[in-house]
Chain A
Amino acid sequence: MIELADVHKSFGDNHVIRGISARIAIGEVVCIIGPSGSGKSTILRCINGLESYDRGAIRVEGRLVRRDADDIIAIRTQVAMVFQRFNLFPHRTAIENVIEGPVYVKGETRRDAEAKGRNLLARVGLADKANAYPAQLSGGQQQRVAIARALAMEPKAILFDEPTSSLDPELVGDVLTVMRSLAEDGMTMVVVTHEMGFAREVADRVLFLDGGAIVEAGPGRELLGNPQHPRTQDFLRRILHPI
């Protein structure tokens, strides 16, 4: 479904992605973990062309991702994204946020899109918040609307960029529950996260990134339970026992 082949990327002199290769299969849930500055968000943003890359190739269903190419729109409608800071449209209600893409990008009728949108809001547990504006919602609720907005595009995969990192701790659970149910329904997901519990239980595979490269990869339980590489061990020790 998503293929990365020797991807490199620099911001000026800063070589942030140093040759990442990976394949993500249909229905697979892959979590990307690693210290800040390891390039996790950057590589995620390269997959749907929000960021360009310098070398290598990224393909989505065989189609080369290039930020400036005309078919980037087609790729983005297949690979949705959920952001750390939600990025809901503040001037539109929850349901308007959800139907924006279906109506204005995919050309669905407002009525069809709204019916589907309401189902999606129900699915993320926010049926009663359809007419609320983002400012009236908690962070966790906003992020669930953002997930519904991503789902409304009927994507083949969803990229999550630290979806719980700007949430108050008590609101993280609701968002993770929604993500877990998506995984159970077979959605292809790439999740940059610091939620090790989620990675262990939900991810088919975990990639540990450091210094812009994949240091270690493996099934969630194995990699997190019994890391082989010293850098992985060191990182996990610090995450799990911060004090």
Chain B
Amino acid sequence: MPQGFWKDSAEFMPILLQGVGLTILVSVGSLALSTILGLGWALMRVSQHAALRQTSKFAVNIIRGIPIIVQLFYIYFVLPDFGIALSALQAAIIGLGIAYSAYQAENFRAGIEAIDPGQIEAAQSIGMRRFLIMRRVILPQAVRIVLPPYGNVMIMMLKDSSQASTITVAELALQGKLIASSTFKNMTVFSLVALLYLCMSLPLMAMVTWLERRFGRK
């Protein structure tokens, strides 16, 4: 351990914790957005209208085909040319939210399609319409199937929130880099950064394991 590790840590920690705050904000915000968008894509994908299905498929493929970092650049640096100026934080949440909605969509679709067709027939036979069947029969059952992979998306998202640093959001990774480049205490700083990420991701992993045990089988 380098000399003065504890002293340096005590000095850097408050700044890094600010970064943690932004990391959590970006992660939670983009998780919420990607969930809503992803569910929208998935519902369009299983719609009876071909136009909706095609639109969803097309959109998801476009999103999946472009690196997250490029999407972030586009939203933060290009959209202002069209009169849409977002703060770095807003751009990060929207960019990561859109990028991840594609993965969420595939996950949700798999969950919806895993429901036994007999369930839909039973619901139809008591006079339920499509929307009601989706809300009362399919989605509540799909949630159980989707939860474990959803937990994995949360972990990936937490780590990928560091990409927000590329558009100047001073989240954990960027704070670390700034401190390191001004103090040259690379080892101390990046060890702390890594530890802080682990402090967030390990509990999430434990939660995924729990979810898998609770809902995964059957």
Contacts and interface: CB of A to CB of B under 8 A. Distances in A.
B5 to A, nearest CB: 52
Interface residues of A, number: 24
20 contacts: A50-B121, A50-B124, A50-B125, A73-B129, A76-B124, A76-B126, A87-B122, A89-B122, A89-B123, A89-B141, A91-B141, A91-B144, A100-B126, A100-B136, A101-B126, A101-B127, A101-B128, A104-B128, A105-B127, A105-B132
Given A90-B141, A91-B141, A104-B136, A80 B118 contact: no
A190 interface: no
A73 to B, nearest CB: 5
Interface string B121-156: 111111111001000110011001000000000000
B119 interface: yes
A170 B116 CA distance: 27
B126 A80 contact: yes
A80 B136 CA distance: 19
Contacts of B144: 91
A87 B118 contact: yes
Interface of B is mostly: helix
Contacts of B124: 50, 76
A133 interface: no
- Of the listed residues B118, B119, B121, B126, the one surrounded by the most CB atoms of chain A closer than 10 A to its CB is B126
Interface string A204-221: 000000000000000000
A59 interface: no
Q: Say which size band chain B's interface belongs to.
A: 10 to 19
A135 to B, nearest CB: 9
A170 B128 CA distance: 33
A80 B121 CA distance: 11
Nearest to A103: B136
- Of the listed residues A101, A149, A150, the one surrounded by the most CB atoms of chain B closer than 10 A to its CB is A101
A48 B123 CA distance: 12
A48 B141 CA distance: 25
Contacts of A48: 125
Interface string A89-103: 111000000001100
Contacts of B116: 87
A87 B121 contact: yes
A46 to B, nearest CB: 13
Nearest to B144: A91
Contacts of A91: 140-141, 144
A73 B132 CA distance: 12
A73 B127 contact: yes
Contact of A88 (B121, B122, B128, B132): B122
Contact of B127 (A77, A87, A88, A89): A77
B126 A105 contact: yes
A83 interface: yes
B128 A83 contact: no
Contact of B132 (A81, A104, A150): A104
A101 B127 CA distance: 7
A136 to B, nearest CB: 13
A153 interface: yes
A231 interface: no
Interface in A72-86: 73-74, 76-77, 80-81, 83, 85
